[in-house]
């Protein structure tokens, strides 16, 4: 069976007409199948792990543009600030900048991703190295892209909003012949912000093609160019254990010297073939070249009197080339009354990374001055800054290689009982050069990742499951940049997830889920108290929680998406003077609740109402600064003007409540947006 992110192999042979007119009685926030959690096209009710799918319908209804927007309605997932230059979701208490995938292939550079070419976003909660390899400590985010399907598509969306936000997206496609189809998606955005002097420009283009080489063989290939450029905004500092009370627009630092940009160039090819004996073969090759730069002047601590704040600066440049090849073979076989859906695969990867960090020096004061005090009343200095290497700034070149083999068996033991068993063996090596010192290092890890899941189905649409999954983060770190003489020979950090849950498809377009989990992090490095020159590996943290989710259509006219999560994350062992046993994990709320509703009044008009509640969180693991909890309401109006034209109005923070959206540290806290309006017009031509 073809993966869920691809059409059937013969679809490109048909010229299908498709009108895209929003909610037409067929669209839904719920889906029933996915490839993400098992690498096979599997019903979600049969997947023994929590997985939330954010569909294109929900993305459009809420006018989502970013990964941060996506996480609002995913239980158990939050978003951190990311220093104003990258996506940083928080999955089950673990912040990550690297656990991103595109159509199942690693996309691990630090940048802000757009949703213009996305069909849906799938968020897997809990580690699963058996499928995805290293990383994914708390879960991962997989973007499923729009592909050529032989359908006739002509759609243009224009959007304008508060603070001079302007955006356009394009989606066109058709069958060129009986064997060839193409699709082209694009985006252009030029926007301001409720934050003073913060701007955003981005554009992207993604053509894809599908070619039927034979009735059972399809080749898909394409290219994406994406550019994102903005002011790196690190928010406001704290004072006396809370965010500094100031206007939500107040910028701390120098926006003129705080720029960040990313360029992404990707080419891919996917070959699917079905053999006559029922065996299917899939090969996916993807090459991505990333260029990333950011420079920022950012706030530090406020003085005891609350009258001045320190500012510092640095820059970081990263170039990375990723080349991955995945080959999967699937086969279904019966052995007596037991049915096996077998998967065997091989993944090869090579990642070449260069990074350079420079420290900002205020040389007008002295050659060694790296921070200045400025008044709270005027926190935007224009002092000249010289960016140059300090004695410890990174200047590295690294080559990481992956060779992994994996097998999985989805077993139907009885009509009501299924099991998922899998094993991945991965050889992960890093060759690392410190250009600053000319030191060369290398590391090699053999990562053995088992997976076990048991599913009991008293009815076809109802399942109870239990699972155990795990993953590793090698000592080079999730960004492959932290290898040193001290840690190179240490075992990787381990993340083990134990989970039980229930899934119920009340109807084909309405699903409910519940899960409870315990996620343990071990092999955390701390200095040996008896000998500080040595290191110990200890149990680092534990996160436990409950997640509830609901997506789909309650009635023909009423759709909803939402969830609730209870999360408790704690440090298990004292690791430093600021990481103390018993401390709560940073940016992990105890309670979160979200609910989005759309109600179609008739064939032309609809309304949407959403509510988001987040409990208080600590900005950092030292638990000294707390962001207060908040409730925020959003709303929308939808109008189908005719068969080819529709419009919508989205209102974020309907009641204009003051709140704090995210943080990176105790003194990098982002105020939430005041009330914001966006008007979108979509035409099918």
Q: How many whole angstroms separate alpha carbon 121 and alpha carbon 70?
A: 8
* pLDDT band with cut points at 50, 70 and 90 for residue 53: very high
Within 588-628, strands assigned E span: 591-600, 605-614, 617-618, 626-627
Helices (H), 84-216: 129-132
Q: Does 10 have pLDDT greater than 60? A: no
Quick one: CA dihedral 22, 24, 30, 32, positive or negative? negative
Q: Which three-class secondary structure string do you get for 366-393?
A: CCCCCEEEEECCCCCCCCCCEEECCCCC
Give the percent of the chain with pLDDT over 90. Answer: 91
Contact yes or no for 220/258 (Cβ under 8 A): no
Q: Is 682 helix (H, G, I), strand (E, B) or coil?
A: strand
Handedness of CA 494, 615, 111, 208 (dihedral sign): positive
Section 112-125 average pLDDT:
98
Give the CATH number, domain containing residue 575: 2.40.170.20
Q: Count of H helices and E strands in the chain?
A: 3, 43
Instruction: Give the whole-number percent of the chain exceeding pLDDT 70.
Output: 96
Q: How many CA atoms lie within 13 A of 371 on its CB side?
A: 11
Residue corresponding to tokens 């050889």: 427
Average pLDDT of the residues in 606-618: 98
Closest CA relative to residue 118, chosen from 137, 89, 141: 141
User: Could you report the per-residue pLDDT of 315-348, keeping only the tens digit for each?
Assistant: 999 999 999 999 999 999 999 999 999 999 999 9
Residue 374 within any structural domain of the chain: no
**Distance separating alpha carbons of residues 226 and 145, to the nearest angstrom:** 14
Q: What residues make up the domain containing 200? A: 11-304+317-357+394-684
Burial of 608 (0-12, 13-18, 19+ CB in 10 A): buried
First to last CA, the chain: 33
Structure tokens at 440: 């060369």
Residues 63, 678 contacting (CB under 8 angstroms): yes
Q: Dmax of the chain from CA atoms?
A: 81
Is there a domain that residue 370 lies in?
A: no
Number of domains the chain is built from: 1
In-domain check, residue 4? no
Cβ contacts of 685 within 8 Å, gap of 6 or more: 154, 155, 156, 644
pLDDT higher than threshold 60 for residue 583: yes
Please check whether residue 372 lies inside any domain of the structure.
no
Give 378: exposed, middle or buried? Use CB within 10 Å, 0-12, 13-18, 19+: exposed
Q: What is the average per-residue pLDDT within 528-544?
A: 84
69-to-108, 109, 166, 294, 368 alpha-carbon distances in Å: 19, 19, 17, 22, 41
3-state secondary structure of 480: coil
The pTM (predicted TM-score) of the whole model is 0.95
pLDDT band for position 534 (cuts 50, 70, 90): confident
Which of 458, 451, 448 lies closest to 492 in space, CA to CA?
A: 448
Assess if residue 231 is contained within a domain: yes
Helix (H), strand (E) at residue 68: helix 67-70
Does residue 311 lie within any of the structural domains? no
What whole-number distance in Å separates Cα of residue 342 and Cα of residue 333?
8
Residue 263 contacts residue 291 (beta carbons within 8 Å): yes
Res. 25 pLDDT band, cuts 50 70 90: very low
Q: What is the pLDDT of residue 531?
A: 76
The CA distance from 95 to 631, in Å, is 23
DSSP 82: G
- pLDDT band with cut points at 50, 70 and 90 for residue 537: confident
pLDDT over threshold 90, residue 17: no
pLDDT at 1 over 80: no
pLDDT, residue 464, reads: 98
> E strand or H helix at 70, and its extent?
helix 67-70
DSSP-assigned states of every residue in 210-248: EEEEETTEEEEEEEEEEEEEEE----B-EETTEE----T
Give strand pairing partners of 17: 152
Query: Average pLDDT for residues 593-608, to the nearest whole number?
Result: 97
Question: Coil, helix or strand for 296?
Answer: strand
Tokens 């039980």 correspond to what residue?
500
- Record the tokens describing residue 30, joined without a space: 């719920």
Give CA–CA dist 518/499, Å, rounded. Answer: 7
**pLDDT beyond 80 at 567:** yes
Read off the tokens for 372.
């200045």
d(CA 181, CA 5): 16
Map residue 625 onto helix, strand or coil: coil
In sequence order, which residues have a C-beta less than 8 Å from that of residue 550 and are 6 or more positions away? 510, 511, 512, 513, 560, 561, 562, 563
Residue ranges with strand state E in 56-179: 77-79, 89-91, 94-95, 100-102, 105-106, 118-125, 139-145, 151-161, 165-175
Residue 214: CB atoms within 10 Å: 11
Q: Decide if pLDDT at 20 tops 80.
A: no
What pLDDT, in 10s, does the model give residues 137-159? 999 999 999 999 999 999 999 99
pLDDT-derived band at 12, boundaries 50, 70, 90: very low
Query: How much is the mean pLDDT over the chain?
Result: 94
Between vectors from CA 461 to CA 455 and to CA 462, what angle results, nearest 5°?
A: 45
CB of 107 closer than 8 Å to CB of 134? no
Give the pLDDT confidence score for residue 383 in this predicted structure: 87
Structural domain contains residue 387: no
Q: What's the CA angle centered on 62, arms 26 and 77, to 5 degrees?
A: 105
Smallest CA-to-CA distance from 290 within 94, 135, 100 is with 100
Distance of CA 582 to CAs 495, 540, 575, 585, Å?
19, 11, 11, 9
Does some domain include residue 523?
yes
Place of tokens 């088992």: 450
Q: What angle is formed at CA 444 by the lines to CA 443 and CA 449, rounded to 5 degrees?
A: 135
Give the pLDDT band (50/70/90) at residue 382: confident
Quote the CA–CA distance of 276 and 244 in Å, as a whole number.
67
Please report where in the chains the tokens 């638990």 appear, as a residue: 623
Is the confidence at residue 23, as pLDDT, over 80?
Answer: no
Q: Say if residues 647 and 639 touch (Cβ distance below 8 Å).
A: yes
- What are 95's two structure tokens? 């912040």
- Surface-to-core class of residue 393, CB atoms within 10 Å of its CB (0-12 exposed, 13-18 middle, 19+ buried): middle
Q: What are phi and psi of 478, to 5 degrees?
A: -65, -20
Structure tokens at 586: 């940073």
DSSP letter assigned to residue 436: T
């Amino acid at each position: 069976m073809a993966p869920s992110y691809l059409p059937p192999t013969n679809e490109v042979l048909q010229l299908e007409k498709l009108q895209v007119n929003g909610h037409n009685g067929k669209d839904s926030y719920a889906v029933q199948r996915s490839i993400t959690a098992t690498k096979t096209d599997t019903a979600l009710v049969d997947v023994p792990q929590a997985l939330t799918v954010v569909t294109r319908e929900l993305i459009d209804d809420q006018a989502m543009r970013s990964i941060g927007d996506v996480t609002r309605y995913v239980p158990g997932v939050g978003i951190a600030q990311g220093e104003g230059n990258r996506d940083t979701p928080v999955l089950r208490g673990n912040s990550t900048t690297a656990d991103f995938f595109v159509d199942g292939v690693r996309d691990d550079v630090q940048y802000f991703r757009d949703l213009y070419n996305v069909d849906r976003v799938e968020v897997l909660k809990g580690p699963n190295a058996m499928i995805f390899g290293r990383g994914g400590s708390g879960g991962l985010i997989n973007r499923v892209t729009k592909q050529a399907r032989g359908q006739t598509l002509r759609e243009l969306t224009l959007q304008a909003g508060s603070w001079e936000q302007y955006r356009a997206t394009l989606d066109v496609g058709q069958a060129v012949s009986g064997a060839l189809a193409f699709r082209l998606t694009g985006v252009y955005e030029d926007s301001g912000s409720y934050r003073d002097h913060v701007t955003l420009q981005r554009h992207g283009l993604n053509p894809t093609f599908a070619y039927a080489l034979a009735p059972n063989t399809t080749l898909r290939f394409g290219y994406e160019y994406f550019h994102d450029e903005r002011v790196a905004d690190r928010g406001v500092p704290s004072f006396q254990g809370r965010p500094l009370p100031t206007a939500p627009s107040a910028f701390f630092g120098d926006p003129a010297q705080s720029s960040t940009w990313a360029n992404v160039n990707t080419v891919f090819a996917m070959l699917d073939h079905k053999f006559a004996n029922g065996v299917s073969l899939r090969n996916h090759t993807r090459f991505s070249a990333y260029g990333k730069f950011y420079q920022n002047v950012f706030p530090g601590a406020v003085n005891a009197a609350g009258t001045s704040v320190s500012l510092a600066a640095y820059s970081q440049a990263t170039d990375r080339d990723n080349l991955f090849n995945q080959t999967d073979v699937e086969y279904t076989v019966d052995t007596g009354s037991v049915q096996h859906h077998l998967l065997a695969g091989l993944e090869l990867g090579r990642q070449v990374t260069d990074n350079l960090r420079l420290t900002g020096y205020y040389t007008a004061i002295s050659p060694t001055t790296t921070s200045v005090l400025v008044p709270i009343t005027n926190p935007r200095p224009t002092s000249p800054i010289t960016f140059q290497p300090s004695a410890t700034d990174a200047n590295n070149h690294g080559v990481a290689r992956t060779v992994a083999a994996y097998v999985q068996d989805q077993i139907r033991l009885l009509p009501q009982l299924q099991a998922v068993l899998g094993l991945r063996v991965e050889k992960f090596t890093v060759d690392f050069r410190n250009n600053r010192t000319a030191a060369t290092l290398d590391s090699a890890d053999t990562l053995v990742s088992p997976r076990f899941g048991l599913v009991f189905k008293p009815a076809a649409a109802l399942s109870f499951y239990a699972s155990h999954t795990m993953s590793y983060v090698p000592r080079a770190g999730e960004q492959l940049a932290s290898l040193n003489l001290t840690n190179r020979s240490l075992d990787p950090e381990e993340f083990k997830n134990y989970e039980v849950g229930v899934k119920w498809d009340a109807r084909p377009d309405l699903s409910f889920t519940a899960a409870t989990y315990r996620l343990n992090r071990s092999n955390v490095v701390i200095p040996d108290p008896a000998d500080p020159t040595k290191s110990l590996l200890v149990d680092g943290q534990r996160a436990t929680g409950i997640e509830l989710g609901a997506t789909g259509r309650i009635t023909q006219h009423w759709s909803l998406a939402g969830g609730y999560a209870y999360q408790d994350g704690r440090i298990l062992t004292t690791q430093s003077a600021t990481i103390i046993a018993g401390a709560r994990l940073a940016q992990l709320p105890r309670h979160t609740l979200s609910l989005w509703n759309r109600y179609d009044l008739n064939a032309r008009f609809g309304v949407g109402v959403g509510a988001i509640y987040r409990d208080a969180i600590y900005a950092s693991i030292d638990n000294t600064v707390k962001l207060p909890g908040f409730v925020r309401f959003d709303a929308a109006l939808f109008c189908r003007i005719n068969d080819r034209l529709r419009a919508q109005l989205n209102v974020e923070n309907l009641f204009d409540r003051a709140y704090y959206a995210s943080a990176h540290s105790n003194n990098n806290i982002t105020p939430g947006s005041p009330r914001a309006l966006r008007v979108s017009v979509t035409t099918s031509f």
